[in-house]
Every structure is written in C-alpha cells, then in structure tokens.
Amino acid sequence: MSLLYFPSWLIVAAFFLVTCVSKGMIFDIRPSVEEYLPNYDFYHNLSRMNQCLHHVSSKYSEFLDVQMRYRSRMGLTQFVVRVSNFSLDSVSKSKSDNRSRILFSYGEHAAEFLPVQSMFHLIENITQGYDLLRETHGAKFTRYLLNNFDLFILTIVNPDGRTIVERTRNYCWMGTANSVDLNTDLTANLRRTSKGTYRIIAAEPECRVFRELTSKHSFDAFFSFHSGSRQILYPLSDENSKGSGVDVLYLASLMSSSLKSGFKLVPANTSLFDAGIFTYANQERKIPFTYKISLWGGKEMKSDIPDKNCFSTFNPPSEDLKAELEVIHPLYPTIFNFIHNWKQTQILIMAQQQRSKTGGVPFSVSFFIFILGCACVLLLCNIRVPFSWKIYYRRQRRIVSLRSLGTLFAVICPLT
C-alpha cells in the first residue's frame, strides 16, 4: 500500500503528533520561581556557545581543535575541544610523549552555568596569550601550556538539559532529557538516583564521550566542574593504585589555597558511592588524579531537591560573573604546575627503571645459555664421525678433551 492511499489529513495529523510529542517533552515543565535570572549578554546561551567555539577553532586551528563527533540523546553536539601544540603530535609518535594529558568536564548538570563560563574564560586566556608579544607573561603562559600539555575539554556534556533550562526557564532542572543525573552529589545526598554508576555510563548516550576518550587516551588527571557549593571532592580509594593518596590530597589542598575563599576538602570513598562519571574515572579507568570541584556557592540549600531560587543557588548574578571568574581562574595554573611536575618525575622514574632493567643480562638468561652450551657439547661428542676422520679424532682424543671444552664454554657462555 502506498502513501498516496492514506487520506492526506491523516499524514498531516501524524506529522503534528510527532512534533507535539518531541516538543511536549520540553514544554511540559513549568518555569521555576527565581530571585534573579541569567542575562545572556553575560552568560553564554547554547547558540552563543556554538558561535564562540566555531570562531576560536577557525582562528586558532594550529593549537585548538573542536571535535563534533559526540551527540546527546536529542542529537545535540557535545563539543570536545582539544588544546595542544599539534606539531608535537608527529614528534611524539617516534619518541615518548612527554605532555601531560588532562580531561576537563563541564556542564554535566544543566542548571550549573558557572562552570561552563569558567571554561570559556580559560579558552579566552589561552587564545589571548597566543596573540600577545612573546615577552609578555600571558604569551609565556600560553606557550608553556601548549608545549607541555594535551588538554581535552568537554565543553558541555549535557546540552539537552541546557536546552530544557533555556526553553522552559526552569532553572532547577539538573539531569539529561532522560532525567538522568550524570554525576550525583555524594556529600549532600542530593539528587541521588537509583541507577548504578555503570548503568548510567553504559546506557546514556551522553556518556559515550567519556567511555571513548578515556579508553583511547591515558589521562593523567580528570576534573569535573560543578557549582552550588565551594568544595573539592577527592577520592579515597585503595583500588586506584596509580595515584598515591598523598599526592591526591596534596593537589587538593593546593587548589583549595589557590581559591582563597575557604574551600572544603571532602574525601569520598569511591568504592562505597554511586557517583556517575567521577567514580567511573577513578575506579574503572584508574586515572591517577580525579576530582569533582564545586566552584561557587550561593546560600545554603534547605531542601534536598530545591524547587525555587535554583539559579541563584548555582550561579552568581550576571553583573558579578566576570569578577567571580577572575577569582576562580588561579585554580588552573595551580593544576597545570602540579601535574606538569608530577609528570616529569614519573618520566624520570620510568627512565631509571628502564635503565636498570637493560643494564646487564639477567641471571636466568645466562643460565639458559649455559645449559644450551652443555647440550651442544654432549651432542658434539656423540656425533658419528666418518671413518677417515676417526683415526685423527682418536689420536687427538686426550688433547681435545678438556682444554678445547674449556674454550668452547668460554665462547658459548659469556657469563657476566
């Protein structure tokens, strides 16, 4: 039966049904009651984000690449920005790659606008430094960053949630279009979902980017940025052997002191909790340094799941945004300096281990060669020689025996 046999009104009705369903999911939510709202001249909305990223990736293509391979459930792009000196890629193919590899993740929770702004502030810092004269401090910082790091930045992991927030003006929406919280808050017991970590990571299309990037590249550090309080969550885990507990705590305290305004250090036993991406990075992928940092907090939340004044709980007023971002920014150089030094130490340790390994022939190898030599000698002695040679062999027998065996050993078994 062809499409033409259907009455045309049926097709039109079906079309309307489809569009209503897809929009209904979005427009069913009522706006939240808010103390203040975002001014999109200061905050970036989704369309402005896209514009910005397109602009920087075309202008600074030699060190900033925007990948658009990953998509959310609703088909929106989860932009992955890679920042590094790309001409080092070819150099490090032949030699070992000495750059520190860091994964930054922003915008996992829809209503947390501030972390995404902090990411744009960082990108602006890097790109502006590139345009400056070589002697200036900004230019040196950018060059240091590009030549020593390979940064992967997930600019907005949950674009569906952001679309819902922008369209419905419900600033209490945290999850994805499927209402899944990608990174639950352990300490405040907020928004805890009943779904297990690995189910979230496996089932949500938003998590594909984590699975693929973390399996393709071995990261030295992973940071997941949030807002709503001022705290640094670090893993307390016996299972991740790659990052020593002392180093992890030390970087946490360095970051806290760089931020000035009293950030709490919160240890989290990741084998006990179900915390989405954070637990996954630490437990499954064993990234040496994993943190979940909440960058800014308004007043304390009273109820477990806030249903009003959410925007002011998670984000500063638009006029204060710039000043707040300046306060947060010292966090980044702190991270870069620490990870860079740590990585250099690791490279030295590795080089030393390699040297001690290849220094001499191990005992087992020389013993094996010795046994092989003995076997050869036995074989030689038992070989049947032609008749004409036999007389010579007999005559020389005594002389051949011990001394030549000794030289044979010396040739076959150069014991060190």
Ligand X SMILES: *[C@@H]1O[C@H](CO)[C@@H](O)[C@H](O)[C@H]1NC(C)=O
Residues 6+ apart with CB under 8 A from 219: 101, 102, 103, 152, 285, 287
Beta carbon nearer to ligand X, 132 or 188: 132
Listed in order, strand segments (DSSP E) in 112-251 are: 149-154, 221-226, 231-235
Residues 6+ apart with CB under 8 A from 165: 110, 111, 171, 173
Residues 46-105 that bind ligand X (CB under 6 A): 47-48, 85, 87-88, 91-92, 95-96, 98
CA distance 79 to 414: 60
Q: Which of 236, 254, 266, 408 binds ligand X (CB under 6 A)?
A: 236
Beta carbon nearer to ligand X, 269 or 404: 269
Does position 334 interact with ligand X (CB under 6 A)? The reply is no
Separation of first and last alpha carbons in the chain: 86
Q: Which amino acid is at 48?
A: R
Report the candidate in 76, 68, 59 with the shortest Cα–Cα distance to residue 123. Answer: 59
Does position 163 interact with ligand X (CB under 6 A)? The reply is no
Question: In the complex, what is the shortest distance from the CB of residue 4 to ligand X, in angstroms, rounded to a whole number?
Answer: 39
Beta carbon nearer to ligand X, 207 or 331: 331
Q: Which residue is nearest to ligand X (CB)?
A: 138
Q: By rule CB under 6 A, what string of x and - marks binding of each residue 26-45 to ligand X?
A: --------------xx---x
Does position 396 interact with ligand X (CB under 6 A)? The reply is no
Beta carbon nearer to ligand X, 54 or 69: 54
Does position 167 interact with ligand X (CB under 6 A)? The reply is no
DSSP 297: -
Does position 138 interact with ligand X (CB under 6 A)? The reply is yes
Report the candidate in 106, 86, 219 with the shortest Cα–Cα distance to residue 159. Answer: 106
Q: By rule CB under 6 A, what string of x and - marks binding of each residue 237-266 to ligand X?
A: xx----------------------------
Beta carbon nearer to ligand X, 85 or 168: 85
Beta carbons of 117 and 43 less than 8 angstroms apart:
yes
CA distance 343 to 220: 8
Beta carbons of 252 and 321 less than 8 angstroms apart:
no
Does position 187 interact with ligand X (CB under 6 A)? The reply is no
Residues that bind ligand X in the complex, under the rule CB under 6 A: 40-41, 45, 47-48, 85, 87-88, 91-92, 95-96, 98, 125, 128-129, 132, 137-138, 141, 143, 146-147, 236-238, 269, 271-272, 329-330, 333, 347, 351
